[in-house]
A and B are shown apart, each in its own frame.
Chain A
Amino acid sequence: MNERFELNKNLAQMLKGGVIMDVTTPEQAKIAEEAGACAVMALERIPADIRAAGGVSRMSDPKMIKGIQQAVSIPVMAKCRIGHIAEAQILQAIDIDYIDESEVLSPADDVYHIDKTKFAVPFVCGARDLGEALRRISEGASMIRTKGEPGTGDVVQAVRHMRRMMSEIAKVAAMREDELYEEAKALCVPYDLIRSVHDNGKLPVVNFAAGGIATPADAALMMQLGAEGVFVGSGIFKSGDPAKRARAIVQAVTNYDDPKLLAELSEGLGEAMVGINEQEIKLLMAERGK
């Protein structure tokens, strides 16, 4: 792959062990940065509100994103719709640090994802399993996250996606070399990427957890299942005390293997986001873009 792709993978490596927080205003961005976010995702509405509002959900106003870029010194990400090449070009034009080609927004193309190799700016994409992850990487994504089910405060889908991905990676790593070609066919992915997973026992890019993470314990759970960091969307600014919860989740990601500390971090955080159970969800965003 080319030099730009390597540099973009490298930025994701710098985010590891960190928490990327959804923010909708410069004030929230500052709260997130002070709480220890390693990056922020600038968007007009957090997923829980997108879900509640319904309708078509699009890229945020560039002016709003610029306001957040000016407010903080950490990397700023923003979302474009799946397959919306022009939205991605606009985000690149305003010097965004990472684009999330995201199923949280309404898909613009129901067949094709963006050819991300045509961009200098890095992309992160959602995936529910190894096949999706490798298809996105072959399109040029330099970072992967689980899809989870955004805006629900229910971690079950993120857990399902991370477990599936990890067990599929372990399976590929354990295969005989002469089985890899067949596996590449089965997953509809390039042979070279399957080969890389087989040789290294991991994805060729950084893999975060996202979708439904609402508590320090949720974040620690995802890290224990193999995530290299977490995205927290609605979980922070839909809760009673965002700054305190944000700080606690940041510390929980670093100390995911220390239950005693996690117990302290979980104390007195105020009200968590109410959330929606899996069975109550009307719109499954994770089904968008495969």
Chain B
Amino acid sequence: MKIGVLALQGAFAEHAKTLSELGAEIVEIRRKTQFTDALDGLVLPGGESTVQGKLLREEGLFAPVKQAIGAGMPVFGTCAGMILLAKRIEESETVHLGTMDIAVRRNAYGRQLASFRTRLLVEGVGEYPAVFIRAPYATELLSSAARPLAVHEGKIVAVRQANMLAAAFHPELTSDPRIHAYFLDML
């Protein structure tokens, strides 16, 4: 199992650690040449989506990543990664990869003082300790292909659509590897 972790900015090292503890081989992706056919899956980590979206384009990774996801490469986006995958971002003209049939709201809960930790029921995983940092949530599922996996106070915070998995929270910040294991099962 060879998993690419997008390492342009953000908490990529945390994803790499959890995945390698689960037995995956990790490739940090910073430039086009590192994104090869040899990868079995891709992780889009938390961080700032504006920075990551910009660097994706500047490093020439945008087209190959979008194409690979479209062709069925399993992908797991957390927080900023979820925003990169979304087809629509509320109150913004910007779309990044736009491969997933979800609309999201950035900083949906507010600034850092509104960041929180909670226990969440995640379909296929069970009760899970979820960390939300200036988090987004999905405001809408844009097709029936996108299925909610977790809902917090009426807001959709985890979604599965075919080869794509997105979470508004950060499984890479907890010591519980079950959501990463769920992703590896998608391979």
Contact = CB atoms under 8 A, between A and B. Distances in A.
B112 A122 contact: yes
Interface string A15-59: 111100000000000000100111100000000000000000000
A10 B10 contact: no
A261 B60 CA distance: 13
A132 B106 CA distance: 36
Interface residues of B, number: 35
A116 B31 CA distance: 39
Given A13-B11, A14-B79, A18-B10, A33 B50 contact: yes
A121 B55 CA distance: 29
Contacts, number: 108
Contacts of B51: 18, 36-38, 74, 250
Given A14-B79, A92-B113, A255-B30, A74 B50 contact: yes
Contacts of B140: none
B47 A38 contact: yes
Contacts of B59: 254
Contacts of A101: none
Interface string B97-136: 0000000001100111101110000000000000101100
Nearest to A3: B117
Nearest to A76: B111
Contacts of A8: 112
B46 interface: yes
Interface of A: 3, 6-8, 10-11, 13-18, 33, 36-39, 69, 73-76, 92, 95-98, 120-122, 247, 250-251, 253-255, 258, 261
Given A8-B112, A13-B14, 13 more contacts: A11-B115, A11-B134, A38-B9, A38-B47, A38-B48, A73-B107, A76-B111, A95-B113, A96-B111, A121-B112, A251-B58, A253-B9, A254-B55
